[in-house]
Amino acid sequence: MNRVHRKIPAACHTYSKGDDQFPATAPRVIERGEGYTLWDDQGRAYIDWTMGLASVSLGHAYPSVVEAAKVWLDRGSNFARPTVLEEELADHFLALVPCAEMVKFGKHGSDATSSAVRLARAFTGRDRILACSCNPFYSVHDWWIGTTETCAGIPASVRALTHTFPFGDLAALEAVLERYGRETACIIVEPAATVPPDFQGGCPRCVESEAPARPSCFIESFWKQVQARARSIGALFVLDENKTGFRIALPGAETFYGLGPDLVCFGKAIANGFSVSALAGRADVLDQGGIFQAERDRVFLLSATHGGETHALAAAIKTIEIMRKEPVIAHMWEIGARLSRGFNAAAACAGVADRFGMDGYGCFPALRVGASGAPDADLRTLFLQEMAARGVLFNFIAPAYVHDAAAVGETLAAAEGALAACADALAADAVGERLLGPVLRPVFRRRN
């Protein structure tokens, strides 16, 4: 792989797919995917739970989505004027998303979140952004990356305009608002993956999608209080639903938790791996990017040569049609919950339940590796190494419609072997010695 690193920075185009994120036994190159299976360039097959960083919601090369895209590949992929697909997909969003009065499409999640920030600044005439810090990633753009460890190349003046608060800490939010409230354009939150797994299991609604929410559900209560704080200072409340949209519910956490955002951002799951994102919300905010409104200064909003790429929009339309007709969301929850129960039972059987667990929402369970709540990078690397050696990619878990009982069964069989190997390494105090490659590292780090 050193050859590729000399040609492409990081040897890939998304840091989460990098060599520092996968163990030595993981495939270096993917040749193809079908359903929940991937094949590498050596012909080895893997059960895939990462599913294109959670963007593949139905399954790899899902036949009806592929056919929908192919229709437009034969007609042309990009034109100087819009196609009928753009209004058709907009109609789906306006029908599904409660807060949506208008919608604009992009190519990736950062398009949507960064455009929401720009709209909020223009609408309010304010510069500062507040974001819940427990979410590691909102955007590739300066307003967010400037808050991370990997902030090289971003001016200090830009970094100074974004402020963060941890999930569940209203006192911390109040302290930021006390200082910057009247300068704040928006509060942006990722409404589910932001939440620590321990909190996710505190309410039946967070474990089973059909369970009723408790009146005292802390997660829902906290987000509604954050929303109320935004309204009280005249700032916009923005939901980043790139992870939760078309996964936690249809359309997402807005309905799952009963929130009322001004703007909501979607990506990942809406097009089954094709490149489509969306920014939806209030017409008076979004139409700042229109060409007929005359009340406000014009916002240069989401202008992308490939924004109307036909085959991707057709894939999104077909994916959403399937989600509206079939129990995709319920299946994600059920499969994830079954996997979590089986994994936790396997960890207990191996005697390592104090080091391994699977918590959180059934639709995207969180793998926990470490003792007393402290992550253990060495042990996590060893476990993922052993899972990949047994033919399972398990860096994170994004259940898809194609995952079935067989996928869960084979994964749990691999987990039993991997957990036994980890238990043996722990007993011998030899976790580091058993690693076949480098320890996996955080994406956001100041130095390599």
Neighbours of 8 (CB within 10 A): 9
pLDDT, tens digit, for every residue of 372-425?
878 999 999 999 999 999 999 999 899 999 999 999 999 999 999 999 999 999
Task: Read off the pLDDT of each residue in 269-279 and give the average, rounded to a whole number.
Answer: 97
Tokens of 356: 């391994």
Residue 205: the pLDDT is 63
Specify whether the CB–CB gap between 213 and 158 falls below 8 A.
no
Looking at residue 314, its pLDDT comes to 98
Lowest mean pLDDT among 27-41, 159-173, 182-196: 182-196
On the question of pLDDT at 348 being above 90, the answer is: yes
Q: What is the pLDDT of residue 373?
A: 78
Where exactly are the structural domains of the chain? 19-48+327-434, 64-325
Taking the mean position of all CA atoms in its chain, how far away is CA 401? 17
Q: Which residue has the tokens 């192919």?
A: 70
| Whether 23 contacts 384, CB under 8 Å | yes
Question: At 209, is the pLDDT very low, low, confident or very high (cuts 50, 70, 90)?
Answer: low
- Segment 257-279 shows an average pLDDT of 97
- Give the amino acid at 271: A
- What pLDDT sits at residue 315? 98
Confidence at residue 193, expressed as pLDDT on a 0 to 100 scale: 67
pLDDT of residue 213: 54
Computed over every residue of the chain, the mean pLDDT equals 94
**Under the phi-then-psi rule, with left for phi > 0, alpha for psi from -120 to 50, and beta for the rest, what region is 106?**
beta
Q: Residue 211: its pLDDT value, please?
A: 54
CATH classification code of 19-48+327-434:
3.90.1150.10
Q: How many whole angstroms separate alpha carbon 149 and alpha carbon 177?
A: 24
Residues 360, 230: Cα–Cα separation, whole Å: 27
Residue 78 has pLDDT above 60, yes or no: yes
Q: Cα–Cα distance between 161 and 128 in angstroms, integer?
A: 5
Mean pLDDT value across residues 59-80: 97
% of the chain beyond a pLDDT of 70: 94
pLDDT of residue 206: 65
- What pLDDT sits at residue 203? 63
At 2, the pLDDT band (50, 70, 90 cuts) reads confident
* pLDDT of res. 253: 93
- Binned at pLDDT 50, 70 and 90, residue 212 comes out as low
Per-residue confidence (pLDDT) for residue 77, from 0 to 100: 97
Q: What is the pLDDT of residue 150?
A: 94
Determine the pLDDT at residue 135.
83
If pLDDT is split at 50, 70 and 90, which confidence band does 134 have? confident
Spatial CA neighbour of 113 closest among 162, 159, 78: 162
Lowest-confidence region among 109-113, 194-198, 400-404:
194-198
pLDDT tier, 298 (very low <50, low <70, confident <90, very high otherwise): very high
**DSSP secondary structure string for all residues of 112-165:** HHHHHHHHHHHHHT--EEEEETTSS-S-SSHHHHTTSS--TTS-HHHHTTEEEE
CATH topology of domain 64-325: Aspartate Aminotransferase; domain 2 (3.40.640)
Q: What is the pTM of this model?
A: 0.95
What is the per-residue pLDDT across 304-329, written as a single tens digit (0 to 9) for each?
999 999 999 999 999 999 999 999 99
Residue 198 in this model has a pLDDT that exceeds 90? no
